[in-house]
Amino acid sequence: MKNRSLVSINDFSKEEYIKILDIAEEFEKQPKQKILDSYVVATLFFEPSTRTRLSFESAVNQLGGSVIGFSDASSSSVKKGESLKDTIKTVANYSDLIVMRHPLEGSARFASEVSNVPIINAGDGANQHPTQCLLDLYSIRKTQGKLDDLHIAFVGDLKYGRTVHSNVIALTNFNCTFHFVSPTELKLPSAVKRHIKDKNLKYYQYTDLSEVIPTVDILYMTRIQRERFSDPMDYEKVKNSYILNKEMLNGCKDNLKVLHPLPRVNEINEDVDDMKEAYYFQQALNGVYVRQALMAAILGVK
């Protein structure tokens, strides 16, 4: 993985993501190691995403590396009309690795082609966000002790949720059974289902959340956004049907964990937060270890 960019989850093989997860485990035990003290990581956030940026910056700082960059395109030369190519080429002169988030789809792939340092995609529009996917795999493996033979439910907006799409595609490398819970309007696209069929894995579709709870090991919740519905009445009809509360978890499997990419709006009731099934805050923390592992692997120090 040394010197390679990570733009899309498909850029790395199954063995490579397992390697990253293994290194992340080491960082979880010992997150402060001065192994990046001669390295500069640039974080270029052409659109703001405080959560993701802080996770990357914390990951670099704990390893003794330095961070340069910007958190919002309005405060940079981008606003003066500089091309993406020029910005990337300039920043590549000053850094060993570039982490970028950009509102346009394909921007990170393009950056990886013009940059002479590796690029980590921290989100390119609605397209890819591979480090979210890696931290989700890490959280699943950590809570279940394995990635194979699991029953995994994805709940909410399965049509537009890029996180769901990349997680499903990555998980088809393992022998999982998928359970998809969504309103009819927001079903998983057939292009993503094709990946499951290609691997001869099983999937089931539901519109009722409570139906799936007793059978699954992982319940991956996502947000349903009003603007995804062409008819506001359709949103009103479904908006409360995909909210998880404490009572609904009665009768779930003992090992069940609830995941969510955060931020949540109201799809997980706060009464779930203190239950042993709630894992979403730990999940976000795992993002730091996974990003440390990824950067260390790409920079060739692990």
Partner 1 sequence: MENKDTRKELVVSALENGTVIDHIPPKSVLQVFKILDLEKHMDQVLFGINLESRRLGKKGLIKIKNKFFKIDEINKIALVAPTATLIVIKDFNIIEKKQVEIPDTVENIVKCFNPNCVTNNEAIPTKFTLIDKGELKLLCHYCEKTTAKDNIKFL
Which residues bind to partner 1, rule: CB under 8 A?
Answer: 8, 83-85, 102-107, 109-110, 124-128, 191
Indicate if 165 belongs to the active site: no
Left if phi > 0, otherwise alpha if psi is -120 to 50, otherwise beta: which for 185? alpha
Shortest distance in whole angstroms from residue 103 CB to partner 1: 7
Q: Is 194 annotated as catalytic? A: no
Are residues 101 and 125 in contact, defined by beta-carbon separation less than 8 angstroms?
Answer: no
Question: Closer CB to partner 1, residue 198 or residue 254?
Answer: 198
The nearest distance, CB 246 to partner 1, in angstroms, is 39
Give whole-number Cα distances, 46 to 53, 61, 64, 124, 269, in Å. Answer: 11, 21, 25, 10, 32
Single-letter amino acid, residue 200: N
- Please identify, using beta-carbon distances, which residue of 103 and 214 lies nearer to partner 1: 103
Annotated active-site residue in 102, 129, 151, 162: 129
Select from 35, 9, 86 the least CA-distant residue to 295.
Answer: 35
Task: Tell me the residue type at 301.
Answer: V
Cβ-based neighbour number of residue 98 at 10 Å? 27
CB 158 within 8 A of CB 152: no
CA 33 from centroid of its chain's CA atoms: 24
Nearest approach, Cβ of residue 130 and partner 1 (Å): 12
Catalytic residue among 2, 14, 51, 226: 51
Q: 51 catalytic, yes or no?
A: yes
Minimum distance from residue 106 beta carbon to partner 1 (Å): 3
Question: Is 37 or 105 the residue whose CB approaches partner 1 more closely?
Answer: 105
Structure tokens of 105?
């789809």
Instruction: Tell me how crowded residue 165 is: count the other CB atoms within 10 A of its CB.
Output: 24
Q: Based on the residue annotation, tell me whether 223 is a catalytic residue of this protein.
A: no
Out of 101, 162, 223, 302, pick the active-site residue.
Answer: 101
Structure tokens at 182: 């969504």
Please say whether the beta carbons of 186 and 156 come within 8 A. Answer: yes
Task: Please say if 146 is a catalytic residue.
Answer: no
Q: Which is nearer to partner 1, 86 or 148 (CB)?
A: 86
Report the residue number, 19 or 109, with the smaller CB distance to partner 1.
Answer: 109
Q: How far is the CB of 225 from partner 1 (least distance, A)?
A: 16
Are 218 and 145 within 8 A, CB to CB? Answer: no
- Cα angle, residue 11 at apex, residues 7 and 12 outer, rounded to 5°: 120
Nearer to partner 1, 106 or 232 (CB): 106
In order of 150, 163, 275, the CA distances from 289 in angstroms are 23, 19, 24
* Min dist. Cβ of residue 201 to partner 1 (A): 22
The residues annotated as belonging to the active site are: 51-52, 80, 101, 129
